[in-house]
């Protein structure tokens, strides 16, 4: 093989009458030479977990990644990254799902929540909800009194698992386990910025009461709204500035089960139809796919197949349409409570869900694909996993928070 030759350039020095050759040099631009706007356009397209690791590269990158305007832009433009999380009172775990392994669901990493106050160190998490890469954790005392469960003191921690940022929030009422909570985003008209609110709900029917906490003002207030339907149960999911629940209308029973949504910008409720109108379902559950689509798990009767439906991109159009991505026959006569959680891989056609099975009197994890071969893992009565489709983000909890700058030499 011939050696590589270098390109040479003839140069004439007319003043001294000399002729010589020199190497032709190439101008190479380094990342550090890029103008700010171009650097921002490149970095805002890198997935959040990778970009977080690059934060310590230099002071310039660290400053940009901590900039709130950049984090909002990054959330809109970054490469999609979706993690499967399994949550239980002992912590948060990243899991991988593979039907071809002897153990289809494997824990890959434990994600530790560092409590912002030492008073929370003896607490455990009883409830979760999420939006925009933030988790709202409802924390209760580690020693739980089941005989007086609705009078347990609870405290809130808003947490970004990707960045580690946390904010402790004082509940409006001292005993709050009789309330249910949700977290959502809205656009602040005064600052033209994205901020967050917590919706607290108590009671049922016409006696429902709502309170709302605004993170930007650090204050609670009563929400004077009337809900013209009733929640079927209180588990919910949040997506693109709205939270969704299953609901029904006693006055218009022909509508069957539908979804009711709460808009955090207008602070109003709305309705969304399910794929089919049924007066009731044996099993139903809500989830999200990525950061743009809703998903529902529906089983009409105990002998029916379990169907997974996914919407088009929420917010792209005013009309929401549903697509059935999977229909499986889990177990003949499987009787579960409504409060189940599930994950669906739309591309691989894999469903993972956990539920309390009445006949077994324990929590069971099911994994099933298109071949309808159901794999079952018994979890016992105390172990209550909650599956969550989580999209990591650099989202900042507060607009005026002190940036989490790293010490960079």
Provide CB contacts within 8 A for 362, sequence distance 6+.
356, 378, 379, 380, 381
- pLDDT of 1 reads 46
Q: How confident is the model at residue 404 (pLDDT cuts 50, 70, 90)?
A: very low
> What is the rounded CA–CA span in Å between residue 128 and residue 138?
6
For residue 145, give Cα distances in angstroms to 140, 173, 353: 10, 19, 28
Is the predicted pLDDT of residue 142 greater than 80, yes or no? no
Is the predicted pLDDT of residue 152 greater than 50, yes or no? yes
- pLDDT of 259 reads 93
Is the predicted pLDDT of residue 338 greater than 80, yes or no? no
Q: Maximum Cα–Cα distance for the chain, whole Å?
A: 103
Q: What number is the average pLDDT over the span 272-287?
A: 86
Torsion sign, CA atoms 117, 219, 182, 393:
negative
Q: How confident is the model at residue 5 (pLDDT cuts 50, 70, 90)?
A: very low
> What is the rounded CA–CA span in Å between residue 185 and residue 195?
6
> What is the rounded CA–CA span in Å between residue 321 and residue 318?
10
Q: What number is the average pLDDT over the span 40-52?
A: 90
- pLDDT of 119 reads 56
Higher pLDDT: 68 or 382? It is: 68
> What is the rounded CA–CA span in Å between residue 313 and residue 317?
8
Q: What is the DSSP string of 11-46?
A: EEETTTTEEEEEEPP-----GGGS-HHHHHHHHTTS
- pLDDT of 199 reads 94
């Amino acid at each position: 093989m011939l050696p590589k030759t270098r390109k040479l350039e003839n140069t004439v020095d007319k003043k001294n009458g000399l002729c010589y050759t020199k190497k032709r040099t190439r101008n190479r631009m380094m990342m550090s030479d890029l103008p700010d706007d171009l650097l921002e356009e490149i970095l805002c397209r890198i997935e959040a977990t990778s970009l977080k690791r690059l934060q310590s590269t230099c002071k310039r990158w660290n400053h940009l990644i901590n900039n709130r305007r950049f984090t909002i832009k990054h959330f809109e433009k970054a490469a999609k990254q979706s993690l499967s999380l399994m949550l239980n009172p002992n912590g948060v775990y990243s899991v991988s799902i593979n039907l071809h392994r002897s153990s289809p669901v494997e824990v890959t990493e434990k994600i530790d929540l560092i409590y912002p106050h030492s008073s929370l160190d003896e607490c455990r998490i009883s409830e979760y909800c999420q939006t925009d890469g933030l988790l709202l954790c409802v924390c209760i005392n580690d020693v739980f009194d089941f005989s007086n469960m609705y009078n347990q003191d609870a405290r809130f921690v808003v947490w970004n698992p990707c960045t580690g940022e946390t904010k402790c929030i004082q509940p409006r009422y001292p005993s709050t386990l009789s309330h249910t909570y949700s977290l959502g985003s809205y656009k602040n008209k005064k600052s033209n910025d994205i901020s967050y609110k917590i919706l607290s709900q108590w009671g049922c029917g016409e006696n429902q009461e709502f309170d709302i906490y605004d993170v930007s003002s650090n204050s609670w207030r009563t929400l004077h709204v009337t809900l013209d339907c009733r929640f079927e149960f209180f588990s919910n999911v949040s997506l693109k500035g709205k939270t969704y629940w299953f609901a029904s209308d006693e006055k218009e029973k022909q509508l069957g089960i539908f979804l009711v949504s709460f808009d955090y910008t207008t602070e109003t409720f709305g309705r969304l139809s399910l794929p089919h109108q049924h007066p009731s379902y044996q099993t139903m559950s809500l989830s999200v796919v990525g950061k743009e689509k809703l998903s529902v798990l529906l089983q009409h009767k105990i002998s029916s197949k379990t169907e997974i439906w996914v919407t088009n991109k929420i917010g792209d159009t005013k009309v929401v349409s549903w697509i059935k991505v999977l229909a499986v026959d889990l177990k003949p006569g499987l009787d579960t409570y409504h409060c189940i959680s599930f994950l669906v891989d739309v591309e691989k056609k894999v469903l993972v869900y956990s539920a309390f099975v009445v006949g077994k009197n324990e929590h069971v994890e099911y994994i099933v694909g298109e071949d309808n071969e159901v794999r079952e893992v018994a979890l016992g009565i105390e172990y209550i996993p909650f599956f969550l489709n989580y999209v990591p983000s650099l989202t900042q909890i507060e607009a005026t928070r002190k940036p989490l700058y790293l010490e960079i030499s």
